[in-house]
Structure 1
Amino acid sequence: LVVITAHELVLGIIILFLCKIVRCVNGCGKASFSSCNPKVCIVGSGPAGFYTAQHLIKARPDVEVDIFERLPIPFGLVRFGVAPDHPEVKNVINTFTQTAKHPRCNFYGHVNVGKDVSIEELRQAYHAVVLSYGAEGNRRMGVPGEDLTGVYSAKDFVGWYNGLPSCQELSPDLSCETAVILGQGNVALDVARVLLSPIDILKSTDITQPALEALAKSQVQRVLIVGRRGPMQVACTIKELREMVNLPGTRPEMVAADFDGVTAALKDLPRPRKRLTELMLKAALENPGEKEQERRNKASRIWGLRFFRSPIEVLADPNHSRTAGIRLAVNRLEGSGEGACAVLTGEVEDVTCGLVISSIGYKSLPIDPLVPFEPRKAIVPNTMGRVHQATGLYCSGWLKTGPTGVIATTMNNSFDTARSLVEDMNSGNLDVSSAKPGSQIVSALLEKRGVKPVTFSDWEKIDNVEMRRGEAKGKPREKILTVDEMLQVARA
């Protein structure tokens, strides 16, 4: 039996401690535990990027995460995609802020990965690189006339009223009476609601001042939200539809024939789809009560869902200078439920309108020729977030799955990617035994190339200025709209 005194025990611990420092010095060139820690780089600071970082930091007490963002400001579509009248959805920014301020997390804004620093350089600097830069491209309709003045993508239109710097030159003409939105997802309903909302509602949100002023002068009185399939395939959620139904100063205008056979099919629908369809039926077919009828009678603006229609041409005015209408193909459905397909009938229908907004989906873009990319699906090919044939390269968010789902969906798929990465670290499939320089070498590269990143504390300066400006106008914030001004404030 060996008896160890307390003095000897303490001495042993000190020796082990010193040995670990020596190992770090030998492997990393300096006496620092963090130098030997697994280092992960995340490209993109939207929900996918932050949720991936959050899970990695929680799952491994030694992992260090650096987040690189092209803009000087974080949070991606939470800032630039969520409707201004949905402030509760933006509360997730509080969680992201906690992650960004974690001792093992760093934010580097105003760094354009693929231009300022290459993916290969990041892969050399980090044990793993996670691509989470989302879907910044637009899906085109592919019809004649879609480049006419008066035709916009929903992504750009939303970016315009939410303050995305690249969309501030959009300046949409809202002098027409009728607008047509193509697509029936939540983004389409967001756009319709913003177009028709009373200004008194919008002016207490974080909508940009130029957009607020343009909407105050808007002459749009009628918005049609068009889908190629039927009521039972509509892509929006019941919350978004309920907001349209209850929007002050508006009334619904539906085509009763679009709902033929829907009532009989209700009993076989899953509960969420059933509730959504019942709400549409109520708005379209039921006689409203006295109070609701009185509200509708006073309404000056109209919205409506139009089904079984696909765009085939945007019609120009006599001068061929701007949009005057849209030609829609009339469809019928083959099959049923979510898998039903729209088939052309040969009939067409022309709708007079001066504004067409295409809300048929966002699209991810390739970031580097060396990164695998599936152009048809517009995703990086992967299995559970592991990029195919690229050890140490991962993806999360819409780049991983395509542009579907809400923020909670992105959270789950980002957590899955983080779990895959941690599993690979733990199993040895991802070698984290050798030291990597991480941000140390990347910062040196950026400095050499004249790029000065924006830190999270720099972003907080921007945040404070925006909130002060908003407070002066009775708004949560007044967003800074140009990258130059953001940088000026950050570096003041």
Structure 2
Amino acid sequence: MRHIAVIGSGPAGYYTAEACQKQFGDEVRVDIIDRLPVPFGLIRTGVAPDHQSIKGVSRRYEATALTDNVRFVGNVTIGEQVTIPELLGLYDAVVLATGAPRDRPLEIPGADLPGVTGSAAFVGWYNGHPDYAELNPPLGGPGAVVIGNGNVALDVARILAKTQGEFAGSDIVGHALSALETSSISTITLLGRRGPHQINMTPKELGELGELERAAPVVDAADFPPEIDDAMLEPGHRKSITHLRNFAAAHVEKPVHIIFDFFAMPVAIEGDGKVERVIVERTVLDSRGAAVGTGETYAVPASLVVSCIGYRTPPIEGVPYDDRAGRFANDEGRVLPGLYAVGWARRGPTGTIGTNRPDGFAIVEKIAADTQPNSGKQGRPALDALLAARGAEVVTFRDWQKIEAAEIAAARDGAPREKFTSIEAMLGARGT
């Protein structure tokens, strides 16, 4: 028997648990530990609420969670109820699958002004993450600036632009839905330091912007290289550029504009006690394809700025950390003897949800090579005794199912659920 602890119940965590079952069969016990009382991490609070088909992958994780040798241990915080050294003493292997849930800082003057928020916080706000439920972003002004040229920036722009009716069938939380209903934002500017060919936006997400009821994407045709250059792009990327070219040619008039401002680098955020404008420097690409400022600047009015420039894994005391990369320091997943990292905690915030599956299987192969069965480590019963002695209020997967049932019962018409947005409410729902 091998005893394995996985820290984090998102895609990387559950794919690692699945890989443990495939590798070791019945001769393994996996405890998936999470600081929240609810599982699935990014799937629950990171994926856009109007992308329900993507969230359906959680059913695969649920199948793993309901097996006898995998257990969810929710509402347990590493460093408070239990430490990494303690877990290493109890388990044959400890796998860090914490993801990258913190925003990469926007390091320009004015980034600390009220009205500036990172995408992790903003996405967490409309997805009901307890850490961000009280964010209350300023939606009363006419302008919003979204910094970034990836899919998260598209998600933020789309959510800001949608009508109430377009949220039918989504699980956007009630407080965000109410706030967006009274929003005054009519211009959403997406700032990208480089040009259309350098975006990290996928065709599906870009295509959705062309189907919005009251909002139209606006692209300047002068920003594109010659159309023949599109042939050098990967097929998926070429489809994305085709969407942008179609947007540039369409000239659709709608009350809300989503403006793609390419070759635009934010250099400062200004305002009297709050965000009022973003100062942007025009850029060009150098011979290496990097954005270089030209010295020409202009102001974009905004009462809300959402920075979508990447994520970082929070450090854990005693675990080697690569501050430059914003993830745990590791050698192909090995961090310390008995300690491993997987998913975004290992490689940084890159790839798709599905990328975590082969990553999990690769880590488990290393665990198999590094460990022997029946080492004498106690695993699950020893953790239970330690947590009980410290008064931890552990949430099981069966408890989570009660929480989920209560969320489904509270859903507004047409919505799959109404998420609890506080840990207290989640814990209280276990008795319903």
TM over 0.5: yes
Matches for 1:123-142 after TM superposition, within 5 Å: 123-142=88-107
The CA distance in 1 between the partners of 2:149 and 2:174, in whole Å, is 27
Are the aligned partners of 1:384 and 1:416 in contact in 2 as well (CA < 8 Å)?
Answer: no
Q: What is the aligned partner in structure 1 of residue 319 from structure 2? A: 371
Q: Which moved more, 1:344-353 or 1:178-187?
A: 344-353
Distance verdict in 2 for CA 1:264–1:482, change over 3 Å: same
TM-score (normalizing by structure 2): 0.97
- Give secondary structure in 2 for the equivalent of 1:329: strand
- Give secondary structure in 1 for the equivalent of 2:361: helix
| Higher-helix-fraction structure | 1
Q: Which has the larger radius of gyration?
A: 1
Query: Once the 2 structures are TM-superposed, how far is the Cα of residue 491 of structure 1 from its aligned partner?
Result: 4.5
- Equivalent of residue 90 in structure 1, options 55, 59, 73: 55
- Equivalent of residue 405 in structure 2, options 443, 450, 464: 464
- Give secondary structure in 2 for the equivalent of 1:253: strand
Paired letter, 1:269:
L
The CA distance in 1 between the partners of 2:22 and 2:372, in whole Å, is 20
Are the aligned partners of 1:391 and 1:430 in contact in 2 as well (CA < 8 Å)?
Answer: no
The CA distance in 2 between the partners of 1:418 and 1:155, in whole Å, is 29
The CA distance in 2 between the partners of 1:219 and 1:136, in whole Å, is 29
Are the aligned partners of 1:181 and 1:357 in contact in 2 as well (CA < 8 Å)?
Answer: yes
- Equivalent of residue 311 in structure 1, options 253, 266, 269: 266
- Equivalent of residue 348 in structure 2, options 402, 408, 411: 402
- Equivalent of residue 446 in structure 1, options 366, 372, 387: 387
* 2:12 pairs with 1:48: yes
TM-score (normalizing by structure 1): 0.85
Are the aligned partners of 2:215 and 2:257 in contact in 1 as well (CA < 8 Å)?
Answer: yes
The CA distance in 2 between the partners of 1:473 and 1:272, in whole Å, is 36
- Equivalent of residue 333 in structure 1, options 285, 291, 312: 285
Matches for 1:10-89 after TM superposition, within 5 Å: 37-61=1-25, 62-89=27-54
Query: Once the 2 structures are TM-superposed, how far is the Cα of residue 47 of structure 1 from its aligned partner?
Result: 0.7
Question: Aligned residues, how many?
Answer: 431
* 2:373 pairs with 1:432: yes
Are the aligned partners of 2:2 and 2:372 in contact in 1 as well (CA < 8 Å)?
Answer: no
Matches for 1:61-460 after TM superposition, within 5 Å: 61=25, 62-259=27-224, 261-284=225-248, 286=249, 288=250, 296-297=252-253, 299-316=254-271, 320-335=272-287, 340-368=289-317, 370-387=318-335, 390-422=336-368, 424=369, 429-460=370-401
Q: Which moved more, 1:135-144 or 1:267-276?
A: 267-276
The CA distance in 1 between the partners of 2:374 and 2:405, in whole Å, is 41
- Give secondary structure in 2 for the equivalent of 1:145: coil
Q: What is the aligned partner in structure 2 of residue 24 from structure 1? A: none
Q: Equivalent pairs: percent with the same residue? A: 38
- Runs (4 or more) in structure 1 with deviation over 4 Å come to none
The CA distance in 2 between the partners of 1:101 and 1:477, in whole Å, is 21
Are the aligned partners of 1:203 and 1:212 in contact in 2 as well (CA < 8 Å)?
Answer: no
The CA distance in 2 between the partners of 1:445 and 1:433, in whole Å, is 21
Distance verdict in 2 for CA 1:332–1:189, change over 3 Å: same
Query: Once the 2 structures are TM-superposed, how far is the Cα of residue 382 of structure 1 from its aligned partner?
Result: 2.2
Query: Once the 2 structures are TM-superposed, how far is the Cα of residue 410 of structure 1 from its aligned partner?
Result: 2.2
Paired letter, 2:274:
R
Q: Which runs of 5+ in 2 are unaligned?
A: none
Per-residue deviation, residues 65-86 of structure 1 (Å, max 9, x unmatched): 1100000000001000011110
Are the aligned partners of 1:68 and 1:108 in contact in 2 as well (CA < 8 Å)?
Answer: yes
Are the aligned partners of 1:227 and 1:306 in contact in 2 as well (CA < 8 Å)?
Answer: yes
Per-residue deviation, residues 401-460 of structure 1 (Å, max 9, x unmatched): 1011221122232222223223x1xxxx32334221112111111111111210000001
The CA distance in 2 between the partners of 1:99 and 1:379, in whole Å, is 27
The CA distance in 1 between the partners of 2:210 and 2:96, in whole Å, is 39
Distance verdict in 2 for CA 1:246–1:262, change over 3 Å: farther
Are the aligned partners of 2:3 and 2:377 in contact in 1 as well (CA < 8 Å)?
Answer: yes
Paired letter, 1:456:
F
- Give secondary structure in 1 for the equivalent of 2:276: strand
Paired letter, 2:227:
T
The CA distance in 2 between the partners of 1:187 and 1:490, in whole Å, is 33
The CA distance in 2 between the partners of 1:262 and 1:454, in whole Å, is 57
The CA distance in 2 between the partners of 1:275 and 1:182, in whole Å, is 22
The CA distance in 2 between the partners of 1:419 and 1:245, in whole Å, is 44
Paired letter, 2:9:
S
Paired letter, 1:413:
D
Q: What is the aligned partner in structure 2 of residue 490 from structure 1? A: 430
Per-residue deviation, residues 20-78 of structure 1 (Å, max 9, x unmatched): xxxxxxxxxxxxxxxxx101000000111011101111221111111000000000010
Are the aligned partners of 1:182 and 1:359 in contact in 2 as well (CA < 8 Å)?
Answer: yes
Paired letter, 1:99:
T
Are the aligned partners of 1:232 and 1:262 in contact in 2 as well (CA < 8 Å)?
Answer: no
Paired letter, 1:215:
L
Paired letter, 2:424:
D
CA RMSD of superposed structures (Å) = 1.4
Paired letter, 2:238:
K
